[in-house]
Structure 1
Amino acid sequence: MYKKEKSIQIKSSASALYNNLSVLPIAQKNLTYFAVIHGSLVNMVSASTDGLNFSHRQLQSKEGGLVHGTSLIMQMYESDGSIMVYWHAMDTPEAQTAEAVFARGIAATGSHYVCVGSSTGSILVFNIPPEGTNITVSEVLEEHKDPITDIASDCSEDKGCIADLVTADDSGLLCIWKSGEDFKLIHKISSYGVTCSSVRMWSGIIAAGYGSGQIQVYDTASAAVHVEINAHARWISTLDVAPESGKLLSGAEDSFVNIWRLFRNPESKAIEVEHLHTECVIDVQVCGGKFCDPEGSAFAVTGYDLSEIIRYVQV
């Protein structure tokens, strides 16, 4: 069971975007960073562990985010938002001149790669040096033909999995990759006519949320579906996994947030899902949800046109 805690106020409301909440706990500093997008602004809040002290910052995209009048800039900052360390114009030779190109979906994988999806279906692989800001584009993955919706890497401690990255697009297609100096496509999971709006990967398991309100749970190694859940009555807008416990959070436009647990049956090795908790966020169209710690003992939620981050703690 979870109970509602005091909300965190933000300076502007959350836009109606999939996965519109990022949470970064930093145990060494006893701080948790929250980030929410509003148009071309990123609202950042750093909160102390006891929830008594807050610090706000707003990041504005460079020159409104426009380059050559059409394409947007992807920017990378230090974790506290204090310094922009790199920017990259998202235009591509294939893009039509009147078509705006934007980034959607981001994940770090391997020891030094960051993958960023685009509205053209391309995935840019950035090579991040251990020191300095000499960031480069090392590869462009071109398997998707529709705009990317989300990207996730395996957040578990088991790094021996056959694949460690999954990408999703507007058609519902999933691509499973093994990262490295040359990224290798392991599997493609065909779409069934519904957008995959959010995807997460944990311990060789993929959880994908769809516009139908369903969650499909796949085995990474075989790409076989093990579980289908009719989780929500409306479009799923966010998924998250707690890496230390395998808890899965799902949030949707129906104003509900569900907490599940992913695990493998020790005898059959089949993937199973257990429902743990349901929370109704009254009169809120949920657009973002994240666990606030690796165990999943707390989570936070954002909603469209809502100028606060709602927090829940396990009791």
Structure 2
Amino acid sequence: MYRQDVPITMKGTASSLCNNLSVHAVPDKRQINYAVVHKSLVNLISATTDGSSVVGRQILCKEPAATQGVPFVMQVKWVILPTRSLLVLTTGRGIQIFEPDGAAMVYFHSLSDSLDKSNYAKGVAGVGEKTLCVGTETGAILMFDVPAKGNNITLLDTVCKHQAPVSDLTSEKDVLASADDLGTIIMWTFNGIKLSPVTSIRGTGWPCNSLALWKSVVIAGFASGHLRVYNANSGICGAEVLAHARTINAVDVSRDNGMVLSVSDDTFFRVWHLKALNVPQIEFCHGETVKNSQLVGGRFVDGQGRALCVTGYDSSEITFFVRV
């Protein structure tokens, strides 16, 4: 179903982090951007859609309030709000928000600047018209108001429902899903002012490393190798698959047709087809190994799942596969 295509080479390698790949398509410029974390750096690659031009550079994580050296980046992700696009970096000590091209930092939020106390940030998603949500090690979710332009970003609220560190966030319009290191998933609705919990899906003790949301269906990848799909409104588990032999590090969904991508330490990526029923179902479509590569990131390149890309730990390549 998919064949391997020409890879893109980065200036650095990929760190061993879950969700270590973000993709941002800019149709007006016929350009696709990729971001991958390497320790305290972020590899940024801009490529034309026809592959004729590929430009790479790096962002060094420097925190204005830090006094204990350069922190490690935990996650990088583009957030596309109706009013604005942003590039968000979460670190072991805070949150950095950049313009989408990474050229200028517009906001920094410190979480910790102490050697004996940590509070890393992990899990990033936009909800509503202009609200950015970021998860933290304490289990709290920070909510930021983002203006259409400028750097007047403000902390709106902090919601605390998780009993373990937040591992990932995902959203669809006014619905937010959050997961933690105990595998608990909480569904929220946003009314433009505050987040309200709708349902909680109890974890089994295995971290939920990655989430995706599509048409009121939650797709969750766990460190146990399980892939589970839930009804977002009721929390009912419609299907459970032992999708991988080792931890699932990333999941993604193609917005137009519900294709699901999962990647794992076991070197395999697998593609599934999601059926958004009252009791959601999932069907296996394709699986392939990327030889000698512990996969840490995976994303569809377009909304129809016609192409996908993956990253592997300690590899300097973004590997592409095209549907045939």
Q: How does 1:1-315 map to 2 (within 5 A)?
A: 1-63=1-63, 66-67=66-67, 72-91=93-112, 98-154=116-172, 164-179=175-190, 180-265=192-277, 269-315=278-324
The residue type equivalent to 2:179 in the other structure is A
Q: CA deviation at 1:65?
A: 8.2
Cα 1:56/1:65, change in 2 over 3 Å: farther
Q: CA deviation at 1:213?
A: 0.5
Q: CA deviation at 1:83?
A: 1.4
* Alignment deviations for residues 265-286 of structure 1 (CA, whole Å, 9 cap, x no partner): 5xxx431212111111111000
CA distance in 2, matches of 1:12, 1:108: 28
The residue type equivalent to 1:175 in the other structure is I
Aligned residues of 2:311 and 2:317 also touching (Cα < 8 A): yes
Q: Percent same amino acid among aligned pairs?
A: 38
Q: In structure 2, the residue corresponding to 1:66 is in which secondary structure?
A: coil
Aligned residues of 2:236 and 2:279 also touching (Cα < 8 A): no
Aligned residues of 1:66 and 1:73 also touching (Cα < 8 A): no
Unpaired runs of 5+ in structure 1?
none
Q: CA deviation at 1:132?
A: 2.2
CA distance in 2, matches of 1:142, 1:11: 39
CA distance in 1, matches of 2:36, 2:225: 23
The residue type equivalent to 2:29 in the other structure is K
CA distance in 1, matches of 2:166, 2:66: 20
Aligned residues of 2:254 and 2:305 also touching (Cα < 8 A): yes
Q: In structure 1, the residue corresponding to 2:100 is in which secondary structure?
A: coil
CA distance in 2, matches of 1:90, 1:22: 23
Q: Deviation above 4 Å: which 4+ runs of structure 1?
A: 67-71
Q: In structure 2, the residue corresponding to 1:62 is in which secondary structure?
A: coil
Q: In structure 1, the residue corresponding to 2:93 is in which secondary structure?
A: strand
Aligned residues of 1:25 and 1:31 also touching (Cα < 8 A): yes
The residue type equivalent to 1:105 in the other structure is G
CA distance in 2, matches of 1:2, 1:307: 22
CA distance in 2, matches of 1:261, 1:64: 45
Q: CA deviation at 1:264?
A: 2.9
Aligned residues of 1:212 and 1:235 also touching (Cα < 8 A): yes
Aligned residues of 1:86 and 1:133 also touching (Cα < 8 A): yes
CA distance in 2, matches of 1:120, 1:109: 21
CA distance in 2, matches of 1:110, 1:298: 28
The residue type equivalent to 2:50 in the other structure is D
Q: CA deviation at 1:87?
A: 1.0
Q: In structure 1, the residue corresponding to 2:28 is in which secondary structure?
A: helix
Q: TM-score, normalised by structure 2?
A: 0.89
CA distance in 2, matches of 1:121, 1:68: 24
Cα 1:177/1:274, change in 2 over 3 Å: same
CA distance in 2, matches of 1:238, 1:264: 20
Q: CA deviation at 1:97?
A: 6.7
CA distance in 2, matches of 1:73, 1:66: 9
CA distance in 1, matches of 2:166, 2:264: 19
The residue type equivalent to 1:52 in the other structure is S
Q: CA deviation at 1:64?
A: 9.0
Q: CA deviation at 1:188?
A: 1.1
Count of paired positions: 302
Unpaired runs of 5+ in structure 2?
72-91
